[in-house]
A and B are shown apart, each in its own frame.
Chain A
Amino acid sequence: MTDLSTPVSPVSPGSPVSPGSQAQAGAGASAPKIAPPLWLLAELTYRCPLHCVFCYNPTDYATHRDELDTEQWKKVLREARALGAVQLGFSGGEPLLRDDLEQLVDEAHRLGFYTNLITSGIGLTDARLGALKEAGLDHIQLSFQDSTQQMNDFLSSTKTFDLKKRVADSIKRHGFPMVLNCVLHRYNLPHVEKIIDMALALGAEYLELANTQYYGWAHANRDQLMPTREQLEHAEAVVARYRKTHGDKCRIFFVVPDYFENRPKACMNGWGSVFLGVAPDGAALPCHTARSLPGLTFPNVKDTPLRDIWYDSDAFNRFRGNAWMKEPCRSCDERTRDFGGCRCQAYLLTGDATNADPVCDLSPMHEQVVNVVRRAASAGDVREQPILFRNDANSRQLASGHADKGNPR
């Protein structure tokens, strides 16, 4: 999983030389006022060899089985590139389960995308690494669940830790830049020091310590995964220390858990602003968890051109700009900074996607978030509900309304 809430830093570094006049001519004279997408997330499949308890995939993923074929994906890539998208993530599920991945990377590279493979590393053999390098893959983000084999294997419900370490070595041998991603929560926050040591030892250029965002499977397991404030403060102090001593070798990102904040994240940099996701079955999504929102019909790339989807569809226009906002967002000075926060979180916690994200302490429903955090702090290590692994059986049951908690397979 990756956090795409700030995919673009529109930094314009000074003007060291007399700048002259930046070219203003060309495209866009008659283009719509809506800015083009910059990020295309291609979720190639929901299939995955892991069963992570914090996966953001929809809990009913097992009911979305039809995957786009190679030619359909190539068409998506061409149309997205023509619109202006330049960063491309191949994700899932586990994208390596698609045996046409190399073909798609090749096409994307030819089109001028910067290509990122977001993977668990399962199935990333030397042969495939070589083929992906040849196809022009730019970067690999490898996920780890923890620094210890026991925890990694428990949280993903597999035996994968040693394999992942070998894969990380191979990725570096093939000369790829590598980002290590580790999703943080109650069970591994105390190990953050070891996780950083491991990233350094494996030669990662970046380490993304992403505190769990509570959507999909993570939301279903929220009470089990929610850390305490003390755990977070400890981890943040460790990160600050390592940034001082090792910051020039490995950049460490610490994605804050927003339940502990007083202001919401600028989710997706604004709805329909830079991010365009395409789900395995071709549904086009303004954010990777948008499927959790009721009352929205997501257009499908199989029958609708991407340009129409981005500029004209109801789904992509629903929360664009400010017009949809209610109080306290509507009159708030900060609405252009955080865009009212996350629509999925507003829906999950308040029952209405047009409400302010209740992470904001100006929201009349902020108390709900505070209570979740308080409950985590008081619950100690005992959890009444068993943890719910992401797998097909649980997914089908959740889709039909009830799940068998604690069954890892």
Chain B
Amino acid sequence: MSDTNRSSAVLKLRPLFRMQWEAAQESFVLLYPEGMVKLNQSAAEILKRCDGTRDVAALVADIEAAFNATGIAPEIEAFVAEARRRGWLE
């Protein structure tokens, strides 16, 4: 597995996974073959934006604008790394 250019790569959920709102869980969930992960709000906000149109920098800018926040890049990068480790992203 290569790490080159990771930071500039466009973020996209792998087709194996589907994200949707579940009223019964009162949360977003990530669905995959025979399994499910319940997402907290932050994870959901990030993954919602992993739609193949943004790299990490654009995603950070987008979330900072949406939530009127600053300085959250390290947290988002850590989550993206974790999502990659779990195989959620392309």
Give A18 to B79 CA distance when docked, in angstroms.
12
Contact B34–A141 (Cβ < 8 Å):
yes
Shortest beta-carbon distance, A253 to chain B, in Å? 10
Q: Which residues of A in the span 1-20 have a Cβ within 8 Å of any Cβ on B?
A: 2, 4, 7-20
Residues A17 and B67 in contact in the complex (CB < 8 Å), given A112-B20, A177-B15, A251-B87? yes
B82, CB-defined interface residue at 8 Å: yes
Chain B residue numbers with a CB within 8 Å of A84 are 22-25
A177 and B33 in contact, given A15-B40, A205-B16 (Cβ under 8 angstroms): yes
A116 and B34 within 8 A (CB): yes
Measured CB to CB, the nearest residue on chain A to B43 is A13
Question: Once bound together, how far apart are the Cα atoms of A83 and B24, in whole Å?
Answer: 7
Cβ of B3 within 8 Å of any chain A Cβ, yes or no, is no
Residues B36 and A86 in contact, CB atoms below 8 Å apart = yes
Q: Is A26 part of the binding interface, using a Cβ–Cβ cutoff of 8 Å?
A: yes
The residues of B that contact A26 with a CB separation of less than 8 Å are 23, 26
One of B18, B43, B67 near A138 (C-beta < 8 A)? B18
B46 contacts the other chain (CB 8 A) = yes
A45 at the interface (CB under 8 A from B): no
Chain A residues with CB under 8 Å of chain B are 2, 4, 7-20, 22-24, 26-28, 36, 38, 83-84, 86-87, 89, 112, 114, 116, 138-139, 141, 175, 177, 179, 205-206, 248, 251
Which B residues lie at the A interface, using CB under 8 A? 1, 15-16, 18, 20, 22-27, 29, 31-43, 45-46, 63, 67, 69, 72, 75-76, 78-79, 82-83, 86-87
12 A-B pairs besides A8-B36, A16-B75, A205-B33 with CB distance below 8 A are A2-B34, A10-B38, A12-B39, A15-B40, A16-B78, A17-B79, A28-B26, A84-B22, A87-B34, A116-B34, A177-B16, A248-B1
Interface CB pairs A-B, < 8 A, 11: A8-B35, A9-B35, A13-B40, A13-B43, A14-B42, A14-B79, A14-B82, A15-B43, A23-B26, A138-B18, A179-B33
Q: Which 6 A-B pairs have the closest CB atoms?
A: A84-B24, A16-B79, A114-B31, A17-B42, A16-B75, A139-B33
